[in-house]
Every structure is written in structure tokens, then in C-alpha cells.
Structure 1
């Protein structure tokens, strides 16, 4: 019987080059694109009989791994993997991989687009013109301002030359040791200084227990009233109720959020209808170029993992026997 692979990333489709690559390697494919949310029971059902999975932000919980006994490898077609219980996967003998840096350039460009949109009020102005107005209020230039980067992974590093080209001074708070930072035109500071000095604070850190709601009411209170928050990382890094209150009350100028704690954005989210806050639909890494690279890299990683030779596995070193094919 031909082994089967599940594909849930919504931009991958039957017959595309990723599908052909996997089928030519001797696998059958099962496409069940994730659009919106999916309950664990549904995920278990579509994983039935699958030895591997190329996934979007699936809720890969301990229950899912326990009920998918044939599963041997999971690959996220992106960087974040907070939806995957890696510890449970390890106990189940499943290799879990992500694709570090696969969409760094796309997210970096998008980050700069959000900075410009906030500084020049582009979304607000377009909405007012659509409604029949002709707004003429001034905006702000990026040159001479300070950009704070929370995190210094591949995306943040890709932001630096773009920001410098716009004349921004770049500060960064990171856990990356000095030996791994390189000789870059960035000043590394602690978090309180980053919050206090940034005109734009851009989040580029992973969601972990330590970073969940790291940007809370206390952190927001340290920021300049004229500052803007940019988030292309993970929604739960920000306390959304505290952010909404800060912007409504004029203690923060605004925010551009590509990610939210719950996606799609719930009807009762505190982020809705707050002047100065613009919420986008998790598009930072979604360019044609990044999608193609993520799909192909993800497929190659899945094949390698099933052969016991993953390149980007988060837990292969903990598995007793990762040659599972």
C-alpha cells in the first residue's frame, strides 16, 4: 500500500509542483487545506493512515499525536510552531520540523510596509476617501526615527538594512549572545530601554511561555505616546485588551497587527473598531516567492525526515529511532 502524506497548507494544491515532488518520491497525497479553524477530532480523522504531514497552523495536540499512530513526521510550512506540542510529538516518536528563515525577506518587506502605513495613516486616509472625505492631516517620516526590534532572528536581521535605508536608527533586544550577532549597525539594549526609546516597536520573537503577553499593560506604559506597535510574529505576545485600551486612551499612537491571539479575528475582539489599530490577516510571509520556497522546502524536509535525515527537526535528536520510513 502506498504511504500517504497529509497536506493542509492552504496554498498547496493537487497537481502542483509540491504534489508532484511528493508523488514522484513514492507517496500518495491527501489535500485538506486549513482555512479558519479546525477541531482536533477533525484533524485526527484526516490524519488517518498518514505517515507524514505538511501543515499550516494545525492544533497538533497530545490528543492528536496519541490518535495518529502511523504518523512519523510533521513539517510546518513556516517558522512558527507554537501550535504543535513538540513534547507530545517526541513521546509519540514523531519528528517535528519548521523552516527557519524561509519567508524572512517577505516578512521584512511587509514590516516596512506596516511602518509606512502607520506613519502616513494610509489605511485611515483611504477609508475616509472611500467614505466621501478628502483628509489632509499630516503624517510622519521614518527618517530620524528609532525602530526597536524585539528578537533578532532571520526576519529581524532582514529588516535592518531596509530600515537603515529609510534613515531609521535600529535598536534590538534579543537573547542571541554577542558572539552570534555579527558586526551590524544595531545597538543592542535591554527591554525597558527598547520600549522607552522606540518610535516603532516591531515584534520578531517566538511565542513561548516567557514571551506570552510580554507586551502587556506595564510594557505599553513604558512606550512613547507617539509610538506605534508592529506585530508580524505571534498575536499572543501582546495583551490585546491592554493594547486596545492604550490606543483608545491616547497612551499609544497606534498599532499594525498582522497576527492576533485568535485567528480569524473574533467578532468580540477588543481590537475591533479602535481608531489607530489596523488588523491584517496574517499575510506577512504570503508572497508568491515565499510560498513557493516554503512549499518546496517543506516537501523536501518531509521526505528527508521520513528517511531519518531531517535538516530542521526540532526534536529528532530526542527520538530513539528516527529512521521510520
Structure 2
């Protein structure tokens, strides 16, 4: 009987490198791309007859795992895994892995791109030119400004390095500072939030984190500051953010991740011209996708062949 591997990551397709790798190991890829919410019946039967799964960021609940009759491993084709009920998976003996170190350069590059977009108001300018206008408003240089970074994992470090290269002063709040990096100033969270001209989030969500950027912390930011989130949508109180931008507590925001994706039609963020929203694209480059897909495939193969995977998140 074929060992079936479920793949829901929408950019992984039959005939690609991941498909070939799995088949070389005698596995049978089954494709069910994540294209929006699934029905209850679809969710609860998703893992039936499946031995391993390579998943996008869609939720995996205990109810879904209850129908996993032979599932041994779930591998995220990305870094975040807070959408997976790891505790429920572990209780059933299902290994859970992710793919760190595969997209941090892509995330950092988009982060800087969003900062430049906000600093030079590129969206407004290109829209105006398309409409026949020719705006000449002054933007802001990044050199000499302060880049505040919360979290110093791979994407935080890569973003810090790009900020330094652009001549920015880089402040970082982290529980794991790097004493050898003298180009970065490691300091406390409140100092980073209050000092940043551009505040970029690169930390994981968790029970202790919750909404890291809430109304009081938005009030503590500079009125000229811009918030950038390429990490987790749950880190930001979006209602408080909309109010802070409207009343001028901060200058704007650039969000690649949202608490609910796609952005609900009734979200107040839709109405704000100085809030730039992209569709969870930070890690979505050709190179990062290739690395992430192969890393997830290797995790599945390792578990099914009784080897310890490289990046387990369940232990």
C-alpha cells in the first residue's frame, strides 16, 4: 500500500523538486492546496489515510487530528507553527517540524522594502502618476533614522544587517542578544518602542506575548514612527492600530501578516491610505520556497525512515 503524503502548500506542485524527492523515497504525494477555509467535513477528513503532511499555514486542530488514522509527521513549509495544535499532535505521537533558516533573507528584504515604501510614499506616488498627476512631495532618508527590531532570530538578524548597511541606527529587544555584534545596540523593549522611527516585529507569538503591540505601546511610539509586521498577525491589536494611525499617534504601518487573513472587508485598516498591506508575502520568493519545501520534505522522510528530523518543534 502506498505511503501517502498530503501537501497543502499551494506553490508545491506535481513534478517539482519536492515531488521528485518524495517519490524517490517511495512516497506518494497527494495534493490538496490550501485556498481559503475548508468546510468542517473537509477539515476533519483531511488526514485520513495520510502518513505525513507538508502544510501551509492553515489551522490544524485537535478535531482534525482525531481523524488522522496513520499520520506520523506534520512539517510546515515555513517557520511559524502556531496554527498547529502541537500539544494534541504530540499526545497522538505525531511529530511536528518546521523549516527555519529558509526564508529569513526574503523576510528581511521585504521588511526593508516596506520601510522604503513608507518613507518615500511609493504607493501613493505610483497611484497618482497612473491617474495623470505628478506629485513631488519630499520623502525621508533612512540613513540616520532609528530601526527598532523586536526579536533577534534569523529574520531579525538579517533585517538588522540590512539596516546597518543603509546607515540606520539599529536597536534590538531580545532575550538572546549577541555581544559580538557591536553595530547593534541591544536594549529593553520600552526603549526600542519609544525610540524607533521604524519598528519591525520579528518575534514569535505565544501565550506570554499575546498582542505585543497594543494601545498603550502604540501610544508610546513616536508620532512620526511606522510599524512594520512581517512576523505574526496576532502580535498587533489591529483595532488599536487603526485608531492610532487615525488620530496621529503614529504615522503609519506596513503589514504583511494579519490576525485574520485575508483582511476582512469590514476592517478599519482598509480605509487608511498610510497603512500598507501585503498578502503574507515576506517569505514568498522562488529561492525561499524551494528551500522551505525541500526542508519540509526532508523532515517527513526522516520521521518516516525513523530518523530524528532536523527541526522538530514538539520537543
TM-score by length of 1: 0.94
Give me the whole-angstrom Cα distance separating, in 2, the residues matched to 1:39 and 1:88. 21
Which residue in the other structure is 2:172 paired with? 172
Give me the whole-angstrom Cα distance separating, in 1, the residues matched to 2:182 and 2:102. 21
Q: 1:214 aligns with which of 192, 212, 215?
A: 212
**Cα gap change, 1:106 to 1:181, in 2 (>3 Å):** farther
Give me the whole-angstrom Cα distance separating, in 1, the residues matched to 2:182 and 2:47. 45
Q: 1:301 aligns with which of 288, 299, 302?
A: 299
* CA offsets 1:207-248 (integer angstroms, 9 cap, x no match): 112222110100000000000000000111000011011111
1:39 Cα deviation after fit: 4.2
Cα RMSD (Å): 1.2
Give me the whole-angstrom Cα distance separating, in 2, the residues matched to 1:232 and 1:209. 19
User: Partner of 2:149: helix, strand, or coil?
Assistant: strand
Give me the whole-angstrom Cα distance separating, in 2, the residues matched to 1:116 and 1:248. 21
* CA offsets 1:39-64 (integer angstroms, 9 cap, x no match): 45313323210010000012111111
Determine whether 1:84 maps to 2:78.
Answer: no
2:60 and 2:83 in contact (8 A); partners too:
yes
User: Partner of 1:48: helix, strand, or coil?
Assistant: coil
Q: 2:249 aligns with which of 248, 251, 257?
A: 251
Which residue in the other structure is 1:98 paired with? 98
**Cα gap change, 1:81 to 1:146, in 2 (>3 Å):** same
Which residue in the other structure is 1:58 paired with? 58
The alignment covers a number of residue pairs equal to: 314
Q: 1:226 aligns with which of 224, 227, 238?
A: 224
Which residue in the other structure is 2:312 paired with? 313
Which residue in the other structure is 1:241 paired with? 239
Which residue in the other structure is 1:272 paired with? 270
1:119 Cα deviation after fit: 0.4
Which residue in the other structure is 1:161 paired with? 161
1:184 Cα deviation after fit: 4.1
**Cα gap change, 1:182 to 1:305, in 2 (>3 Å):** farther
1:91 Cα deviation after fit: 0.5
Which residue in the other structure is 1:322 paired with? none
* CA offsets 1:57-84 (integer angstroms, 9 cap, x no match): 1211111111212111000000000100
1:40 and 1:59 in contact (8 A); partners too:
no
Give me the whole-angstrom Cα distance separating, in 2, the residues matched to 1:39 and 1:156. 36
User: Partner of 1:271: helix, strand, or coil?
Assistant: helix
Give me the whole-angstrom Cα distance separating, in 2, the residues matched to 1:262 and 1:199. 27
Give me the whole-angstrom Cα distance separating, in 1, the residues matched to 2:45 and 2:213. 37
